[in-house]
A and B are shown apart, each in its own frame.
Chain A
Amino acid sequence: MRRRVIDAAPALLLVLVLLGAWELYVDSGATSSSILPAPHTIAESLWGNAGLLGHNLAITAEEVVLGLGLALALGFALGVLIHLSPPLRRAFYPLTVGSQAVPIAVIAPLLVFLLGFGLLPKLIVIVLICFFPVVVTTVDGLAAVDPDQLKLLRTLDASRLQAFRFAELPAALPAAISGARIAVTVGVIGAYIAESQTATSGAYSGLGHEINADLSSLQTSRAYAAAVVLFAFAIACFYTLSGLERRLAPWANQSRGDIR
């Protein structure tokens, strides 16, 4: 516990310094509080709207977690296919790269038209944004398997499938989770984009929706409070996945510097 406090101290100190500078900048009157609220105003708003923000966080968290899980599963499967079949690699890889460049606003009306106002169109947007890093790290993880390792399995009479199972699959799993770790931060932005671009029904519509509504009604401090919640959520997701990766692949972190 004591070590954790010491480990966290630099980050906390940096946050305090940045918040102090921010507070001074706003107090100096250089901007209006409807453009940039002071940290203490945001903190008040966070406290005052805890229930509302909590409900919206639950909506957004569900989107991100489900979307990321789907992206992880699909990205891993696609990465394996791309690795095992050179023709599939040539067919899918350029499209996979291109999928990252599709402006969501272009396809959002189509998604809503096809899938309605529920969770599904938002999940598709998040998956579209998240699965690319998973595919790339999976393919790289599979390709990085030591060729001598495969030779060894060959001399032990392993079939191609057994070589995949014993040497390549276990190497690719932590790589895929590493990809998901990169994806989770863009996934939070993805949830914001999904909520902005696809229409919603229901009382609570997620933090992204909340931010847009607050900005258009000049409740800037509440928009900032919602952004703070997203910010903390992204950090929590990242470290959860780091922990998962360490647990699933304790060998992988023996020699590699990891962000903890």
Chain B
Amino acid sequence: MVSRPGADPLNLWGNARGGSPVSTELQSRAYLTSRGTNANDGIGLSDVHRAYRDQRGTSVPALAGVCMHADHGELLAVVGPSGCGKTTLLELICGLQAPDRGLVECAPAALMAQRDLLLPWLSAVDNAALALRIAGRPREQARGRAGELFAELGLQGFERAHPHELSGGMRQRVAFLRTLLSGKPVLCLDEPFGALDAITRAEMQGWLGRALQREPRTVVLVTHDVEEAIVLADRVAVLSPRPGRVRAEIEVDLPHPRSRTDPAVIALREQALVALGMGNA
């Protein structure tokens, strides 16, 4: 899709005419009736339907009757075949889209997209502190707050570096820090480690687990890596191919940190792969 220039081509700020994937009027009406706030800082989706229009204008269902929930402090992983509507799901949780039908009850959520989306003209520390600047904090105060966390993430000494000077793993960490510093009770992570090499990914997974133990949040982690889901999550929701619906939910009641060679982890991984239709059982 070629983005049409305009005041708000994606209708992210509400009142633009056109440019939204589905009729704006319908969308805003549905949005008002279907989005509630969840008092306990968790998320709840019940019977959520969402379709988008392709270039020919035909309606393509992305999600058909998704039900899922996560309580405060829980890490819910979502796995599914590619194109099953995982990204749509996160955008619904973050309030960037509204469901066509069904109910989305969510505490305020911050999104960490597949790409780090760091602003190239800001230094690492300014990127991490972006939410604080948007909230109106003075620049130095915002930098101070973000800078405190740099050492914990192994980013010390790179505060002033610009994104093009950082490695992929460091950029992801800065992007995660930016999401964390948004102060939102819910974090939506969209394949955060998908673009990294295997060694960096393993490091980042360990680091994410530790960061969340220090600062518990409700996390929705979308991933295509079943093993990653089992190692990190409290619960794994397995989505069906498009249109996506929850095919199975797997409780992961194992102590942290988990090893991927632990027989219990391997057993659960097999269970998830079977639910995805790829098991060798």
Contacts and interface: CB of A to CB of B under 8 A. Distances in A.
Interface string B124-157: 0000001101110000000000000000000000
A85 B7 contact: yes
Interface in B80-132: 91, 94-96, 109-111, 113, 115, 117, 119-122, 130-131
B6 A86 contact: yes
Interface in A143-169: 143, 146-160, 162-163, 166-167
B195 interface: no
A73 to B, nearest CB: 20
Given A148-B117, A166-B119, A251-B120, A155 B109 contact: yes
10 contacts: A84-B7, A148-B117, A152-B113, A154-B12, A155-B110, A156-B110, A156-B178, A163-B13, A167-B119, A170-B119
B224 to A, nearest CB: 18
Interface string A211-237: 000000000000000000000000000
Given A153-B134, A251-B163, A86 B119 contact: no
A249 B109 contact: no
B119 A89 contact: no
Contacts, number: 84
Given A147-B3, A148-B115, A170-B121, A160 B109 contact: no
A152 B118 CA distance: 10
Contacts of A151: 10, 12, 91, 96, 111, 113
Contacts of A139: 5
Dominant secondary structure of chain B at its interface with chain A: loop
Contacts of A48: none
Nearest to B163: A251
Contacts of B17: 86
A162 B12 CA distance: 13
A27 to B, nearest CB: 54
Interface of B: 3-10, 12-13, 17, 91, 94-96, 109-111, 113, 115, 117, 119-122, 130-131, 133-135, 162-164, 178, 182, 184
Contacts of A166: 119, 122, 130, 133-134
B250 to A, nearest CB: 28
Nearest to B2: A143
A150 B10 contact: yes
Interface in A62-88: 82-86
B117 A154 contact: no
A82 B6 CA distance: 8
A146 B134 contact: no
Contacts of A147: 3, 9-10
B204 to A, nearest CB: 19
Interface in A19-47: none
Most chain B beta-carbon contacts within 10 A, residue among A150, A155, A167, A249: A155
Most chain B beta-carbon contacts within 10 A, residue among A151, A159, A162: A151
Interface string A235-260: 00000000000000111101000000
B10 A152 contact: no
B134 A158 contact: yes
A142 interface: yes
A142 B5 contact: yes
Contact of A155 (B7, B96, B133): B96
A155 B182 CA distance: 9
Nearest to B120: A251
Contacts of B134: 153, 156-158, 162, 166
Given A154-B13, A157-B134, A251-B164, A149 B5 contact: no
B164 A254 contact: yes
Nearest to A149: B117
Nearest to B136: A162
Contacts of B131: 156-157
Given A155-B182, A156-B134, A251-B162, A149 B96 contact: no
A155 B164 contact: no
Contacts of A167: 119
A158 B131 CA distance: 8
Contacts of B130: 153, 156, 166
B105 to A, nearest CB: 17
B5 A152 contact: no
Contacts of B12: 150-151, 154, 163
